[in-house]
Structure 1
Amino acid sequence: MTDQPLPRVVLLIPHYNNPQGLERSLASIGKDEVCDVLVVDDGSNRAPIDHNAARAAFAARGIVRFLNLPQNRGIEHALNSGLQWIQARGYELVARLDCGDLNVPDRLARQLAFLDAHPAVMLVGGAASMVDPQGVEQFVLRHPAAQSAIVKAMRANSAFIHPTVMFRSAALAQTGLYPLDTPAAEDYALFWEFVNRFETANLPEVLIRYELDPTSISHSKRDKQLRSRLKLQRRHSDGSAAALAGIARTAALLAMPYKLVFKLKSRLRKERA
C-alpha cells in the first residue's frame, strides 16, 4: 500500500488552552475542502486538546495532525514551529486560522483557485465578518485588493487579516519565518516581508467569521502590539506622507485608552455602513 499524496494546502492553527474553540474552527472547514490541518499546541496546561474530539469535528478531505510543544513560549514561536514542520514535509500552500474563528465552507478552495489563476501572487487574504462572543456580526472588515493599495495601507497597519491568509510556502525562503523581535505584531512583520518582495492580494468576499474576544492579544497586549507596530512602521518608512501619517496615528493610539478607541471605530464603521 503506497502513501497517499499530500494535499496542496495545510491549515495552520495555533492552540493554547482553548479546545472548544479549536473544535468549532475544525467543524467550520467545509466537507468538500481538500486540506490537512496542523494544530500546534503551545504548551497548554489548563485545557489540553482532546485529540479524538478534534478529529471528530473535522469533516474535510484530509488529516488533522498535532504538534505538541513542551512549554508555552508564545504564538510566534508556535507558528514558527508549525512552519518548520510544514516545510520539512513539502506542503505547497499554508493557510492560517485561529482557534474560535470560523471558515466559510469553501474558503480554501476560493483562495486556491485565485492563486492558481495568479501565479505571481505569493500571499492572498480576504474579508472577515467580525462577530461578538455571542456570534452577532458587528461589522465586516475588508482591506484593499490590489498590490499598490495594499502597500499604502501597510503604512497605517496590517493590510491583511491574519487568520484569512494563504501563502506559498516556497516564499518563506526569502521572507523568513515570523520575526521574534515584534511581539504581538509578528503577523504584521511577516506581511511586510511579503509585500516588499512579492505581489500580494486580498479577496473582497468574506472568508471567515472572526470573534472579537476581550481576552485576545489585541486587547490584553494592546500597548505591546502598538509599540511593535510603531517599530515596524519606522523600520519600513519611506518618508512619504502616508508613512509619516501611519507613525503619527500609532503614536496617538498609544496615548488613548482601548475602550475609547473601540467605541470610536465601531461608530465610524456603522456610519459608513
Structure 2
Amino acid sequence: MKPAAFDYVRCETLDEAAEMIAQTGDDARILAGGQSLVAMLNMRLATPAVLVDVMPAPDARKVAAENGTLKISAAVRQASLLGDPDLASRNPLLAKMLPWVGHPQTRARGTICGSVAHADPSAEIPLALAALDGTVILRRGRKRRSVKAADFFLGMMLTDKADDEMIEAVTFADVQQGTGTGFAEVGRRKGDFAIVACAALISPKRVRLAVGGVNDTPFVRDWDNLSPQDEAEALNALAWSLDARGDLHATARYRRDLVRHLGAQALKEARTCAD
C-alpha cells in the first residue's frame, strides 16, 4: 500500500514546528526518525494532512546536561546518543538499555523522543524514562509544560500529549554516584520488542525495579530496603501484582516467570555495580 496524500513542511527551527503543529492539531504528524510513522502511513493506519519534518532543525538535535538531568531534543537519533562517549559514565542504565533498542539500522534513523511518543509498552526507551524519573517537555506554540513519565504514559500507545502539542524534548535524571544499575530483557529475537524487560537501580536509600512488556505502561516498584534474601518473595509478589496477559508471543504465566527471573538478574547486576 501507499500512504494517503499529505502536505510536507520542512522546518528549520523547533519554533516553526511548534507553531505548525499548534495550527493544524490532529491533522498533522511530526516526522523525525519515521521508524514507526512511515509504516503506519503506508498501511494507512495514520492519514495526516500534513507531515512536519523537524530533522533539518539544528536546535532539535541537541543533547545537553542540565540541572542533574540529560536533556534530549526532538530529533536526536538513538544511535547518536548511544555513541556519546560520556553516556556510560553519566547515565549507565541508559547506556545499558540503548543497545537493546531495535537494530543498528533502525537506531541510525529512530529518535529518542519518537519512541517516547509512540509509547509502546514493550519498548526500552519509555521504560528507561520511567525508571530514571524522566520528564517529557511538551510544547504548544510558545507555551511549554513538563509531564513526569509516570503521568505521561496513560495506556498502550496512549499518552498525555494533546493533538496540538509536540514533544520538544525529554529529560532523564542522572544516575548518582554509588547507585548500581542493571538491565535484562527477553525477546523473540535480538532487536525485537521485549516480551519482558527489567531495569534496576540500587542506591543506599532505595531499590527500584522497572518492568516493561507486561502492563500497558512501564511499571515502577520501589522498596526502601530490600535484602538479597528477601528478593525472591518480593519479586513473586510483584509478578502477581502486574496485569500480565497472554498473547501470541507469550502466556501470562510465562511473563510472570520472566519478571521473577529477569528481575533477579537485573537486581544482581545492580548490586554488583553498586559494590
Give the TM-score of the pair, scaled to structure 1.
0.28
For CA contacts below 8 A with separation 6 or more, give which structure has more relative contact order. Answer: 1
TM-score if structure 2 supplies the norm length? 0.28
